[in-house]
Structure 1
Amino acid sequence: MEFNLSWILLGLPLAFGLGWLASRFDLRQIRFENQRAPKAYFKGLNYLLNEQQDQAIDAFIEAVQSDPDTSELHFALGNLFRRRGEYERAVRVHEHLLSRADLSQTDRHRAQHALALDFLKAGLLDRAEAALNKLEGTAFETEARLALLANYERSRDWVLAAEIAHKLERAQQGSFGQRLAHYLCEQAANDLAHKQPDAARARLQEAIATAPEAARARMALAQLQAGAGELAAAQQTLLDAMTHAPTAIPLMAAPLADIALRLGSVTQALARLQVVYEQSASLDVLEAIVRLSASTPAASMTDRDWYARHLEREPSLVAATRWMAGEKFQDEQFHPQVQRALDHAVKPLLRYRCAACGFEATQHFWQCPGCQTWDSYPARRVEEL
């Protein structure tokens, strides 16, 4: 068959035209998809600003389906799932990101951190610990260590918590001396629960050396000494604690009064508490003074005199209720009912309140049971705040 050059000349323009049409179609399709993805993204952002999380999730899913290679959309979607408490879906999103071979190292670390947060929020502490440990040496190292610290505190693993706290302090990420002292006090409490007083005493001494200004270790040591019959040493430990941690004196007043009464020598403790009270009036210090004064025959002031003096310094429903308990009224037959009502009314005023979250309790906590913050409870009662 004879080769005809004219067919080639006719075919070239046809091929060129078909290629041009195909390119126009592809460009139009790409332009349409690119316009569709930003539209869905901005729609999701608008829903977020209006706090419509369900609609925002739907919009972001649409955007991800249109452009599955966009990692930012995956991060936004995963964070939304976590905020809504849908931790399983958040985990799937972030694990999908980590499985991508084309993910940059920065985004890989970011996805690892997000995955660890998913596990923490879901309460999967073992998996969270493994995920956080993979962030050592990355830009998320500090955040990971802080999360690990909270994780170990939550699981009451004080040894590992102390290890992380030391790492953070060496990295100059803050001072963790007081927190380390709390960890030692927790371990000392465990030692006492297992009948190991010598080990507990050693830990408390270490805690005092770690944070001399912390009140808890000295108070715990005084309690241990008093339990062992070392009353003079316990009293001296509390007096030293009052010097090193003056803001916690209201917490020490009652145990100091107990030890002084057991020791049969109230003069030194009473004198110290009176000096402290003159400097800064406190209900707990006042109650301790009243108890010690009642055991002193030569006391110049009665219980009611002390409460009346406190009322002269500052208004206090608690002090007024205590003063009225010893008063004689014309209608004395109604006094018990009135006194019972007043005692009930002042109970909320005698609570302690967390300065971080507002959680109130009848006892003082070194770590808030509500928000897990350390040293967030002032030593003063609600009425005095």
Structure 2
Amino acid sequence: MDFDLSWLLLGLPVAFVLGWLASRLDLRQLRLENRQAPKAYFRGLNFLLNEQQDQAIDAFIEAVQNDPDTQELHFALGNLFRRRGEYQRAVRVHEHLLSRGDLSRADRERAQHALAQDFLSAGLLDRAEGALQKLEGTRFENEARLALLAIYERSREWSQAELVAAKLDAAEQASYGTRRAHHLCEQAAELVARGAAQEEAMALLQQAAALAPQAPRPPMDIAALQVRGGEPAAAFDTLVRLAETAPLALPLFAAQMQQAAVAARRSGEALLLLQRRYAHAPSIDVLEAIIALGGSPTTAEAEARDASATAPAPRDGYLAHLTHQPGSLVAASRWLAGETLADDARTHPPVQRALDQAARPLLRYRCAACGFEAHQYFWHCPGCQAWDSYPPRRVEEL
């Protein structure tokens, strides 16, 4: 049977015309959709610039419905929900993105990071931890580790915090040696509180001292552990070395040094060291350690040079301190506490109470980062979570 070419010649133009008509219909539909999506998008952007977030969200939702494949609109919508505190809706948007199989690797990592931020903002730390751990090996790895470190520190999971800080330290973007030393000291403190073997806590503290040789906390904790183990002489030697490496921190451990010196029967050495340090940097804490040792702020060398002067009584050290800090209510209050006034029974108690009350706020420590004040010295500020943000001096001496 012969093939009739006339049918082929007739069918080709028909197929061409049908194809052309179909393409025109598709183009018209595409143009219509494209006109609708940018319109909603720009309307949402205008609302956003005018700080009309409710209207912006409605416009972006409309744009997403017109073009569900637009990832950028999903990210914008999720971020808007998070900023408004609608964390549940932000989580749904970002989880929807993650559930899509056609999402690129870069957008998937971005969506995972956004989801972790949603959980962090909502205070869901357990879920945030899981989301952040999935960012290991991505371009958000460093940010995720910093967030994890903050979570572990806030929840006092010190071993986990130290592991994350070690990874950050290995990345060599910043030094985390001192921070890791604090984590190890916290672990040692927990071991001591649980009554664990002293050797375990000492090993952690020695590791902390090696990580941060200039930090005062590890030697202070080592000395406390040595005193606890019946080694006051070793504790005193530890604190003497610390006074050389971190002299500005002496007010923090002056009382600890005085107690170790008394227990080790080395009060004379401690007194001379404290007097010399006090001469260079007067401090009420150092002064009180000197007075507890039965001495005065004046060194033996100064007394020998002025042999005609009578040796001052230890409590007169408070008066001597007032020459360095004329407005020191703390020194005035401490001096007055041991004095006998005329008509003492009637006048002394109310005057003493007034001075003590006025001096009490001046004995606090103040965070240099956020201004949080506390009677106790904190290595880790309860207010802003900063490390080593407290100067080692009382508010009165700042």
Q: What interval of TM-score do these two structures reach, taking the shorter chain for normalisation?
A: 0.7 to 0.9
Correspondences of 1:205-354 after superposition (within 5 Å): 205-293=206-294, 300-314=311-325, 315-330=327-342, 332=344, 333-354=346-367
CA distance in 2 between partners of 1:28 and 1:160 (Å): 55
1:295-333 CA-to-partner distances (Å, cap 9, x unmatched) read 99x993234422222221223222222233344445642
One-letter code of the match for 1:323?
W
The aligned length equals 370
CA distance in 2, matches of 1:282, 1:155: 35
1:116 matched to 2:116? The reply is: yes
Q: Is the 8 A contact 1:350 1:381 kept in 2?
A: yes
- Structure 1 residue 92: deviation in Å? 0.9
Question: Match of 2:293, SS?
Answer: helix
* AA at the equivalent of 1:134: K
The amino acid of 1:41's aligned partner reads L
Could you tell me how far apart the structure 2 residues matched to 1:182 and 1:318 are? 31
Pair 363,374 (structure 1): closer, same or farther in 2 beyond 3 Å: same
User: Is this contact kept in 2: 1:37–1:66, CA < 8 A?
Assistant: no
Counterpart-to-counterpart distance in 1, 2:56 and 2:242: 56
* C-alpha displacement of 1:103: 2.8
Verify: 1:45 aligned to 2:53, yes or no. Answer: no
Which range moved further: 350-359 or 79-88?
Answer: 79-88
CA contact (8 A) 1:44 1:60 kept: no
Which residue of structure 2 lines up, in the alignment, with residue 178 of structure 1?
A: 178
Cα distance change, pair 366–29 in 1 and its aligned pair in 2 (3 A): closer
Offset, 1:237: 0.9
Deviation at 1:107, TM superposition (A): 2.0
Amino acid aligned to 2:105: Q
Question: Is the 8 Å Cα contact of residues 95 and 115 (structure 2) preserved in structure 1?
Answer: yes
User: Which amino acid in structure 2 is aligned with residue 191 of structure 1?
Assistant: L
Please, which moves more after superposition, 268-277 or 148-157?
148-157
In structure 1, give the amino acid aligned to 2:364: R
Q: 1:35 to 1:342 in 2, by over 3 A?
A: same
Inter-CA distance 28–203: structure 2 relative to 1 (3 Å threshold): closer
SS of the residue corresponding to residue 335 of structure 1 reads helix
Change (3 A) 1:178 1:19: closer
* 1:355 and 2:355 correspond: no
SS at match of 1:300: coil
Aligned to 1:160: 160
Residue 90 of structure 2 aligns with an amino acid whose one-letter code is A
Amino acid at match of 2:232: L
Report Cα offsets for 1:179-203 as digits up to 9, x if no partner: 1211211221122123211111121
Q: Which amino acid aligns with 1:43?
A: F
Kindly provide the CA deviation profile for residues 112-137 of structure 1, in whole angstroms up to 9, marking residues without a partner as x. Answer: 11111222333333332222222122
Residue 247 of structure 1: how far off its partner (Å): 2.4
With 34-43 and 321-330 compared, the bigger mean Cα shift is at 321-330
Q: TM-score, normalised to structure 1's length? A: 0.85
Unaligned runs of 5+ in 1: 1-12
Q: Which residue of 2 aligns with 1:5?
A: none
Note the alpha carbon deviations across 1:260-306, whole angstroms, 9 max, x for none: 2333431111111111111112121122122222699x993234422
Q: Deviations over 1:28-75 (max 9, x none)?
A: 66435422320222212321xxxx655554454455445543333332
| Residue-by-residue CA offset, 1:333-356 (whole Å, 9 max, x unaligned) | 222111101111211111112222
Taking a change above 3 Å as real, the CA distance of residues 20 and 88 of structure 1, as seen in their structure-2 partners, is: closer
* Stretch moving more, 286-295 or 342-351: 286-295
Percent sequence identity over aligned pairs? 59
Q: Secondary structure at the match of 1:293?
A: coil
Could you say what secondary structure the match of 1:338 adopts? helix
Taking a change above 3 Å as real, the CA distance of residues 92 and 304 of structure 1, as seen in their structure-2 partners, is same
**Counterparts of 1:317 and 1:57 in 2: how far apart (Å)?**
59
Matched position secondary structure for 2:145 = helix
The farther-off stretch of 59-68 and 352-361 is 59-68
Distance (Å, rounded) in 1 between the aligned partners of 2:33 and 2:134: 41
Aligned partners of 2:188 and 2:28: how far apart in 1?
Answer: 77
| 1:17–1:103 CA distance, 2 compared to 1 (3 A) | closer
CA contact under 8 A between 2:40 and 2:59: conserved in structure 1? Answer: no
Q: CA deviation at 1:20?
A: 7.8
